Amino acid sequence: MKKFFLTLILAAFCGMSSAFAYDFSAVCPTGQTLYYNIIYSQTGHEVELTCPKPEIYGGFWEGYSKPYGHDIALPSTVEQNGICYTVTKISSHAFYKCHGLMGNLVIPNTITSIGYQAFYDCTGLDGELIIPSSVIHIDTKAFEDCSNLIGGINIPESVVSIGSKAFHNCLGFTGNLIIPKSVASIGKYAFYDCVNFESIITDCQIPPTTDSTAFYGIPTTIPVKIPTCSSPLYQVASGWSQFENFQPEPFYQLTVTSESETFGTVSILQEP
């Protein structure tokens, strides 16, 4: 009987301890209460942004107030119990259906990955999305149904993979989609129904691996600017071959070095 009673206590304790998906919470500079998990890494004190509850306990935000407000600025560091933690990840469902977030989304340059459905259906975000050059991976459905984000998407040169449906149904993007040569793979339906892009620009000499669904819904007649001599590869590559208006262009990389700690301006007087 005692053994059975002890088992019940332990089971209840485990259930209570796992009912939360975070280690601590803190108010960010723009006034929202955010939730964090501590990541134990060799590089020092790190945390990831997360949602308050696991899905198994009735939903990611049930019983909690979702962050809301205009122009949320996610912090690069957060302090807890006298320890300063670097925010390096945005975990799965961290801002799932946070419809009250509005304006621009500012992601700090300490973030290396944006998780599964991290900003899924954040339809209130109606400003620009700036992805910092620290991000390596954009996971599946990370920004799916963020239909009111505006401007273009400039994927930074740090990114190596874009997950399936990462930007699916982001109807508000109207500028350029810029994909750097660091990107090796693009998931299924990644940019499905991003119907208002003006052009796609990439310096990838070899087309990033994808399938026929990655760009569904994007008009096939928009300019696709690619490196010189790469047209034959893009014309037969899965996902890319649907486009009809490839525009080969030279891409140059400019490296500037100086012995001075103070930099002035650099002007290109003539192209190579």
* pLDDT of the residue at 12: 37
Q: From CA 242, how far away is CA 233, in angstroms rounded?
A: 13
Residue 262 has pLDDT above 60, yes or no: no
What pTM, to 2 d.p., does this model score? Answer: 0.83
On average, the pLDDT of the chain sits at 86
The pLDDT-based confidence of 11 (bands split at 50, 70, 90) is: very low
- pLDDT for residue 150 is more than 90: yes
Query: 14-18, 99-103, 131-135, 190-194: which range is least confident on average?
Result: 14-18
Reported in sequence order, the residue ranges of the chain that DSSP labels E, i.e. its strands, are 24-27, 33-41, 44-50, 69-73, 77-80, 83-90, 101-106, 113-114, 129-130, 137-138, 153-154, 161-162, 176-179, 185-186, 199-202, 224-227, 246-249
pLDDT digits (tens, 9 = 90+) for 199-233: 999 999 999 999 999 999 999 999 999 999 999 99
